[in-house]
Structure 1
Amino acid sequence: MQILSVVLVLAGLYLIFDHTPPLPLNHEAVGLGSMHTAHTVIGVVLLVAAAVVFWLGRRNARVAV
């Protein structure tokens, strides 16, 4: 669960901050043009999903002990 959280955080931060043309999944590659808001919203959703996955993983680990 923690590895999934880390992957979601990295993907979210990538989409929010650094998605320029030489990197994969940039605006031109996926056909968004200059729609920075779409990538930002998806990045924030991924960060929230990472927090939920991390929280559920910690809660399940605590119950198992």
Structure 2
Amino acid sequence: MYFLHGRYDYTVSCTLAKRCFEVFQAPEKVFFTFEHSARSPHFEEPERVREAPERILKRREGED
């Protein structure tokens, strides 16, 4: 489970999103916080959003 969340998202606050993240059970989960984004990190920080899947893949490769 992967959460991609903008720090300035006031529709779903970062605090609430992190609480939900902690409650969910999943074999793999990562919370990505985008420090300069609100509701649309894919528009506001597109380069960092593209890095998220790369980080996930690198993490998985390290487990092998």
TM norm structure 1: 0.34
Task: Give the number of the structure whose residues are more often strand, by fraction.
Answer: 2
Task: Give the number of the structure whose residues are more often helix, by fraction.
Answer: 1
Higher relative contact order (CA 8 A, sep 6+): 1
TM norm structure 2: 0.35
Highest Rg: 1 or 2?
1
